[in-house]
Structures are given as C-alpha cells and as structure tokens.
C-alpha cells in the first residue's frame, strides 16, 4: 500500500484499528492476561521478547487481515522486530493492515486534574525511522481525570503541538486525550474536551488533518461534530477498561466512530491455546469489534 492508499483505507474503510502497543509498565499485566505469569522472564529483554511473540502470533493469524482490521498500533520494540522474518510494519502492510506507532513516553504526575505526556526528546529520530519502515501514523496518549478546563486545555494544546511535529514528517497523528471512564465528572469532561478540540482543529492549517482516539462519551453522539469535521481523518474509540461486550455496545451507539481496542481485543487469548483455539478466540473478538464499529444502533443513526 502506498501512503495515499493507506489514507483512503483509514478514512473510508469498514473495520477497526487494533491496539498492540502495551509498553514497559503495562507489559507484565498484558502477559499475565495472556497466561504468562511473572517469573517466566528474568529481565526486560526476555519480557519484551515474550510480548513480541504474542503480537507476532496475532499478526500471523489467518483471521487478522485487512478485511476487518484497518490498522494496528505498535510499540516501538514491536515495530523494530520481525514477524516471520519480515519487519513488523511490512508484515502488516502485506496483510492489508495500516501500521501506526505509539510515540509517547508515558505520563507526568497529575496536575489540574490531568496527566500530560512526558517529554519526547528523541521524537524526530523516531518519526524518521518509523516512516522509513513504512509506518503511516502515530498515537500519543494523555489522560483526563476530572473536569478542569485549564487542565483539559493543556492536554489538548500539548497533543496538537506533538501532532504538528508528526505532520511535519509526513505522518498522521492519532491524538488521544483519554477521559478516565471512572471519573465522577465524565460528562463534563466530554463537553470541555469537545470544545477544546474543536478550537484547535479550527486553528490547523488548511490541508492538514489529524485522527482522534477518544473515550466513548457518556452521552452518545457527543462527538458527532468531530466525526464530521473536515480536518479529522477518522475518530476511533478506546475501550478504557470496559469489557468487550460493554465497549462494543457503547461503540455501536456512536455513529462514525470505530474501535481502537486493546484489552477488549486480547482478553480471551492465552499462550497455552492451540493455533486453532487461538485463531477462533481472536476471530470471535475481531468479529464483535468489527460489528460495533460498522453496525450502529438505531439511536445512533
């Protein structure tokens, strides 16, 4: 796929984006969910080797194709690794799946009800290397814990500044200001976030676009103005701690928003499964998430 083909697929394709980007702090939890207990590795290299084996197994599965999976977000080490002897981004492209890379380095401590992204001093180098490997876009995550207008504006401002840096490398940023679904002020967070994002979208230079990865809103349809905005290539949703069934049900209520799930995609997969069992479990998850992404409930149409 050429860059223009990837853009068209992400913009208009039926399907969802798989989030295969768990990094350092979340890797042990992801491995435990996969049936590999702590103690199965003795250092970080072995730990990341195990998580790469899991991701390679997913990508290699015959049910993981571009027919229902539009794209996949990779952790940097996964991007730099191989799947069946082929660089991971190229292995995805060969299956019709558009590759993205997680670029944030984690979160700062909470201030004003939010957690900003930590500094990324080597981002330009990472972006250049990623693009050379065929990666289409990036993903960068912040967290909003409470409805603090100053904090939410700081999150969105930082996200769009990093997005501009990504765009300067000819890549597509997925801006992810995640609202904590356990927040007691979720609905107010959604409202403040919408207003801030719209302001920054309107300030984008003509001809530039971003993608948005958002928590599913309390009130379905809240983010319709973002779905319809000409400077947004696509809006995707994170599962945010919901079970797969809950996340898919909420997703189906929001027209034009597709999934970018991690836990909800991987929750039933186990290292001990046979290939047949693994492919069946992965296929069931893909089908459910595809349905939530493409078949919207009457209230959302």
Q: Which residues have a catalytic role annotated? A: 176, 213
Reported residue count of the chain is 301
Give which of 141, 134, 135 is closest to 236, Cα–Cα.
141
Q: Which helix (H) or strand (E) holds 17?
A: strand 16-20
Distances (CA, A) of 192 to 180, 207, 288: 14, 26, 31
Give which of 2, 25, 24, 162 is closest to 98, Cα–Cα.
2
Strands 114-115 and 137-144: antiparallel
Work out the widest C-alpha separation in the chain, in whole angstroms: 52
The two structure tokens encoding residue 118: 């930590």
How far apart (Å, rounded) are the C-alpha atoms in residues 252 and 259?
A: 10
DSSP 168: H
């Amino acid at each position: 796929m050429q860059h223009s083909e990837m853009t068209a697929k992400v913009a208009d394709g039926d399907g969802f984006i798989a989030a295969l980007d768990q990094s350092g702090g979340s890797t042990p939890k992801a491995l435990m969910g996969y049936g590999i207990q702590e103690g199965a590795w003795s250092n970080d290299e072995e730990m990341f080797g195990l998580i790469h084996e899991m991701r390679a197994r997913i990508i290699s599965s015959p049910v993981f194709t571009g027919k229902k999976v539009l794209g996949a977000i990779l952790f940097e080490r996964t991007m730099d690794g191989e799947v069946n002897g082929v660089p991971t981004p190229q292995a995805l492209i060969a299956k019709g799946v558009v590759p993205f890379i997680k670029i944030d380095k984690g979160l700062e401590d909470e201030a004003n009800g939010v957690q900003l992204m930590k500094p990324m001093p080597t981002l330009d180098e990472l972006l250049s290397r990623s693009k050379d490997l065929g990666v289409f876009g990036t993903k960068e995550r912040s967290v909003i814990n409470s409805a603090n207008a100053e904090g939410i504006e700081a999150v969105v401002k930082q996200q769009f500044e990093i997005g501009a840096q990504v765009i300067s490398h000819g890549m597509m940023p997925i801006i992810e200001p995640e609202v904590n679904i356990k927040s007691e002020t979720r609905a107010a967070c959604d409202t403040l976030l919408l207003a801030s994002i719209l302001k920054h979208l309107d300030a984008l230079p003509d001809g530039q676009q971003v993608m948005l990865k958002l928590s599913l809103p309390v009130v379905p349809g809240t983010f319709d103005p973002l779905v319809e905005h000409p400077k947004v290539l696509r809006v995707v949703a994170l599962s945010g701690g919901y079970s797969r069934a809950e996340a898919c049900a909420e997703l189906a209520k929001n027209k034009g928003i597709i999934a970018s799930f991690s836990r909800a995609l991987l929750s039933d997969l186990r290292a001990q499964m046979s290939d047949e069992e693994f492919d069946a479990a992965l296929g069931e998850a893909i089908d459910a998430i595809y349905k939530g992404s493409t078949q919207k409930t009457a209230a959302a149409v």
